[in-house]
Amino acid sequence: MNNLSVKITELGKHLNQMQNVNERYDSKQKSKIAQAALQFEALFTSMLLRSMNSATDEIFDNGENEFGVKNNSNLFGLPDGFDAIFEQQFADFMARGKSIGIADAVYKKVTGEELPKNIQKSSFKRTVDVDTRKYDSEFKSIKPASDSLNRLRKYEEIIEKASNEFGVDKNLIRSVILAESAANHNAISPAKAKGLMQLVDSTATEMGVKNSFDPVQNIFGGTKYLAKMLRQYNGNLKLALAAYNAGPTNVEKYNGIPPFKETQRYIEKVISYLNHFNENES
């Protein structure tokens, strides 16, 4: 059999064409894939920690905390309610570009490329970009009751820590607490939302809250969810509050604030309270 010869006059051109066959995603799509991969890793890590902690709940019993809530320690020696803090530190760890490997594997499986380090550093932005003072000209008609303000004071330290942890304005956290429960940590709504920031069971579970009546867990869980809504709606405070009250599904369904009087009244109340706190600080 005679040898066959192949003439290639532009080797670089052929190699480039081969590479382009594998270019299935543009840069915007790759960024979304990277963020999804990182979020999957964070979720997996959170579930793993939660599972490890739940196995130790009955081992450590430290009585009740200052709010009269049973206070067990967990595997890491942390009281109940600080699981969310610990999980957030893991998110910080990954945000510094030190992924534990799951996100890298997922991204490479989908794209065939290595996960860019600059995406790891930017995907878990903590501070929520929202100007809570731009609403000063509206919604000033509703003032918080003095007794609810008095109740709120006992939670100031928790609010401060949650604000720092999740990058949410502490005045906004205060305003949501007052609008949701009037600062009553035992409050239960007709829809079975519980505690200071009125968490339904599904949201509490998603945020890692085991006891919604524990002020520490409730405020951290509620603030974490509020931060998630603010990021989801790019810092649009009204849409984030609408999603917090009526659910993001309804915000998407109506392509904006749902036409529910309760939700519209809720937004007015929260922003009125927010203006009250901002004015008293100025």
Query: How far is CA 169 from its chain centroid?
Result: 14
Active-site annotation holder among 165, 180, 252, 268: 180
Does the annotation mark 180 as catalytic?
Answer: yes
Q: Distance between CA atoms of 33 and 25, rounded to whole angstroms?
A: 9
Decide: 182 and 148 in contact? Cβ < 8 Å. yes
Decide: 195 and 181 in contact? Cβ < 8 Å. yes
DSSP 127: S
- Structure tokens given for 161: 């820590």
Whose tokens are 């509620």? That residue is 222
Q: Side chain identity at 242, as an amino acid letter?
A: A
The candidate with the shortest Cα–Cα distance to 104, out of 93, 116, 92, is 116
User: Could you tell me the sign of the dihedral formed by the alpha carbons of 197, 207, 33, 165, in that order?
Assistant: positive
Active site residues: 180
